[in-house]
Amino acid sequence: GNSVTQMEGPVTLSEEAFLTINCTYTATGYPSLFWYVQYPGEGLQLLLKATKADDKGSNKGFEATYRKETTSFHLEKGSVQVSDSAVYFCALRADSGYSTLTFGKGTMLLVSP
């Protein structure tokens, strides 16, 4: 079956530090990959996505590259801000039309001034 593994948190960083949150997946076929973010008190929001190998998703300074050879989709940001403090979920969707999302456990990011 499909599964997503992401690093455990919390990840604690100072403002302007470099961020990496690791995500690896197991899936049959060619899944689409996503990063969702959940800010305190809010629902999950799509942060970025990639639908095929070597695609790079990017948004709000965050990037992730779909690496089929390593089955990874690591999230990176060059300089984090306090406002980036949230829980980040890596997810996959097997591209069979009506399939649902499989999530990782989520990684809490705490950024201090």
Partner 1 sequence: GAVVSQHPSWVICKSGTSVKIECRSLDFQATTMFWYRQFPKQSLMLMATSNEGSKATYEQGVEKDKFLINHASLTLSTLTVTSAHPEDSSFYICSARDSRGIWVFAEAFFGQGTRLTVV
Task: Kindly list the residues in this chain that would bind partner 1 in the complex (CB under 8 A).
Answer: 4, 8, 36, 41-46, 51, 89, 95, 97-98, 100-106
CB of 46 to partner 1, least distance (A): 5
CB of 78 to partner 1, least distance (A): 25
User: Distance (Å, rounded) from C-alpha 81 to C-alpha 76?
Assistant: 13
**Of 8 and 16, which has the nearer Cβ to partner 1?**
8
CB of 23 to partner 1, least distance (A): 12
**Of 18 and 39, which has the nearer Cβ to partner 1?**
39
**Of 3 and 79, which has the nearer Cβ to partner 1?**
3
What is the CB-side half-sphere exposure of residue 83 using CA atoms within 13 A?
2
What are the counts of helices (DSSP H) followed by strands (DSSP E) for the chain? 0, 12
Report CA-CA distances (Å) from 79 to 14, 17, 40, 92, 106. 9, 5, 21, 26, 20
